[in-house]
Amino acid sequence: MNSVYFPEGYKPALPIYETQRAIEFIKNTFQKELGKALNLHRVSAPLFVTESSGLNDNLNGVERPVSFDIPAADAEGQVVHSLAKWKRFALAKYNFEVGEGLYTNMNAIRRDESLDNIHSVYVDQWDWEKVITNEQRNVEYLKETVRQIVGVICDTAAVLKERFPSVESDLERNVTFVTTQELEDMYPDLTSRERENKFTEKYKTVFIMQIGDILKSGKKHDGRAPDYDDWSLNGDIMFWNKTLGIAFEVSSMGIRVDKSALISQLEKANCEDRKALPFHSMLLEDKLPLTMGGGIGQSRLCMLLMGNAHIGEVQSSIWDAGTEEAANKAGVILL
């Protein structure tokens, strides 16, 4: 989508205060059940980290972090883009064992984000990370974990429907797995986004795997930072969003880089200078556990389960004049 729009005749399933109650219900229910399913324990997380730590998520490498000086600490702070690297560091610091993990609320500001129905400069998600063994660094374990997460999402949708009967939460539990190269082979004349839409409309719940590396066409399906996901063992969970008629990403996740994958991907991304940063040095010196993890969008999940047309219906942010005008014309209240 290139601009904000509201489907003709669209009306939210719930009035504004009932929407707030449903948001609370979804968040409380989902995080509790996610913790049970993946053996995760809640921890506190930073809103910002120092620039010199190397812990911030570089996303696609072009997004500018919100930075500020901290005179009392003689340091430069950065509001996190995500906690992808911090979580792995925390697992080591807290002495988590294999099979255990953590989850936390992550709040971020992505000021360079393009604004549309599903994107905001304010990002809220559950960040989670789990210690795994070297033997679990494989596609089958990744798929098993994806199915567990999708199961929790579908269970949350079912109990939401019981509590708020006017909400339609009809999600496909069966996950169809596909790689980015398979998508390019199937739809060579389409863009990455168009491929996602075409495939997800057909199969409804999809996990698109292997994001970040170069495809046969010489292009990337999408960008991924080189120093957290292993590009051969990652992916995005997509649901078909009936309200908007699009493939709707709820989670980006994956098995994290080991030493060899980190070296290889830093070389491919021309970021070998990062090896000297504290996080990267610890990983290269085998001081960090092998892990898998991801982020699950809180506002995205609420949008999906309640059938909302705009992310501003489930979170408070700042919008451009065109967005506000379109919402007012459609009779939609943005929080």
Q: What is the pLDDT of residues 130-172, one digit of tens each?
A: 999 999 999 999 999 999 999 999 999 999 999 999 998 789 9
**Which of 129, 196, 227, 249 is an active site residue?**
249
**Which of 78, 169, 232, 252 is an active site residue?**
252
Instruction: Report helix, strand or coil for 301.
Output: helix
pLDDT value for 111: 86
CA distance between the termini of the chain: 21
Paired tokens of 318: 């700042």
User: Which range has the worst mean pLDDT, 52-66, 76-90, 162-176?
Assistant: 52-66
- Is 236 tagged catalytic? yes
**Which of 88, 110, 137, 256 is an active site residue?**
110
Phi/psi region, residue 54 (left: phi>0; alpha: psi -120 to 50; beta: rest), is left
User: Which range has the worst mean pLDDT, 97-106, 182-191, 270-279?
Assistant: 270-279
- Give the helix, strand, coil percentages of the chain, each rounded to 5: 40, 25, 40
% of the chain beyond a pLDDT of 70: 98
Tell me the pLDDT band of 2, cut-offs 50, 70 and 90: very low
Q: Say if residue 293's pLDDT is above 50.
A: yes
Paired tokens of 146: 């994806």
- Is 232 tagged catalytic? no
**Which of 227, 229, 230, 236 is an active site residue?**
236
- CA-to-CA distance for 239 and 305, rounded, in angstroms? 11
pLDDT mean across residues, the chain: 92
pLDDT value for 262: 95
The residue extents of the domains of the chain are 16-174+245-330
**Which of 31, 82, 120, 125 is an active site residue?**
125
CATH 3.90.950.20: does it fit domain 16-174+245-330? no
Q: How far is CA 270 from the centre of its chain?
A: 24
- Is 249 tagged catalytic? yes
pLDDT value for 277: 85
Nearest CA-CA partner of 228 in 110, 59, 32: 59
- CA-to-CA distance for 244 and 1, rounded, in angstroms? 10
Q: Say if residue 62's pLDDT is above 80.
A: no
Instruction: Give this prediction's pTM.
Output: 0.91
- Is 57 tagged catalytic? yes
- Is 252 tagged catalytic? yes
The residue-averaged pLDDT of 279-287 equals: 90
The residue-averaged pLDDT of 210-222 equals: 94
234 pairs with which residues across the strands?
254
For the ranges 7-16, 172-181, 316-325, the one whose mean pLDDT is highest: 172-181
**Which of 31, 57, 78, 313 is an active site residue?**
57
